[in-house]
Structure 1
Amino acid sequence: MNVAKLNAAVEGLKTNLGECLLSTAIAMNIDGQSIAGFNANAKFAALIVKVINIINDAAKISGLPQIGRYATFDLQNDRVLVVLPLGEYIWGILLDSTKTQMGLLLNIEIPAAIDAFADAIS
């Protein structure tokens, strides 16, 4: 893993999303430890791992497909949580929904973040 490239991926997300980005963390799936982020704490990193694992476990038990490239959650207080399961890692992104252009986020920014992450761990 190239830590400089991983931090650059987070910085790129900050630059591209601007003021709608409230916090972000990339965490290890095995233990919820944050390895990179912005304005996030250890609880946020652990939460995103727990959310994805609970949903995927429930999907598996019920015979549904597991989460694909990302999951979005419309939260109270004008917040959107986007969670990207990335194999051994999970990337969580918390946004202000009043300032977020969802089409741009889902079609441009998320794929760019996934590509930057893949480059950092290759």
Structure 2
Amino acid sequence: MPRFEFAFESTWVTPLKLMGITPERAFVLVDAGELRVRFGPWRLRTPVSNVSGALVTGPYTPWKVIGPHLSLADRGVTFGTSTRRGVCVLFHRPVPALVPGRLLTHPGATLTVSDSEGLVEALRQSQST
């Protein structure tokens, strides 16, 4: 089961910890045809078949990426711990992540994992099986 840790920049460790986001509680799993993200108290879960694309992106500005964010431009969600780089995952059908239920759904998610290329490859391989 591929597990991808978030890349925590030392500058942001304390503010993120105050939101309940720690290295132990922030990771991405790709297994059994499913993408699962835990980001402190937040969760995102969807079948890999719902992923329409994934690409490495970055760098980012801190106020747009650190912590959980909602893009007002496209309703995308960001789970960010680093300004350097991450993976933008796009979905066929928007998924919930920031609030429970389907009241607010997101067409994409940016995840600042340590192994960005590895996550993109794991999603690609999981879709082809």
Structure with greater proportional helix content: 1
The answer, yes or no, to whether TM exceeds 0.5 is no
**Normalization by structure 2: what TM-score?**
0.33
